[in-house]
Amino acid sequence: MEQTKKLPIKPPHIALTLLFLSWLASYKFPQLNVIDKPYNKIGIIILVIGLSLTFYSFYLFKKNKTPILPGKKPTFVVIEGPYNFTRNPMYLGVSTALLGAAVYFGNLLSFLSPIIFFLVMNYYFVPFEEKLMENLFGKKYLSYKKQVRRWL
């Protein structure tokens, strides 16, 4: 598949790094833990909801034979399923999963991970991807963009 631009780091690497840092914060700074057991288990439910949204969105990309990772040239505008209510369900799902992990770890510093992920996606990856989609799909994507919000 043709690459449209070399991106130095991919969203999955960012998410995994932030997940690791969330865990590390809870391990190294237990004095900042604010959610006690068993209440932290609610984080598992939130994490599963986020991962489900992400993997369902992956499935829709695979079903429509368009690349998932940023930097690859899209071949199709996916507008079904969660793409009916958000243009970025994968990133929304990962942000939600990181929030779930933060709740599970229960550490104040862990809550920075979903915020950082969201901000990096919103200000770095999404504008790049939207510009690419506009250039590739023109009016079809612009019409979709008017109908469906970036996040929720």
Tally of helices (H runs) and strands (E runs) in the chain: 5, 0
Q: Name which of 5-9, 14-18, 58-62 the model is least confident about.
A: 5-9
Alpha-carbon torsion 86, 48, 9, 68, what sign? negative
Alpha-carbon torsion 141, 78, 72, 112, what sign? positive
Q: Tokens 């989609």 appear where? A: 133
pTM for the model: 0.92
| SS (HEC) of 16-28 | HHHHHHHHHHHHH
d(CA 48, CA 101): 10
Is the per-residue pLDDT at 1 higher than 80? no
Structural contact between residues 50 and 99, judged by C-beta atoms closer than 8 angstroms:
yes
| Residue range 10-20: mean pLDDT, rounded | 96
d(CA 142, CA 22): 37
pLDDT tens digits along 81-133: 999 999 999 999 999 999 999 999 999 999 999 999 999 999 999 999 999 99
Q: Where are the domains of the chain?
A: 32-147
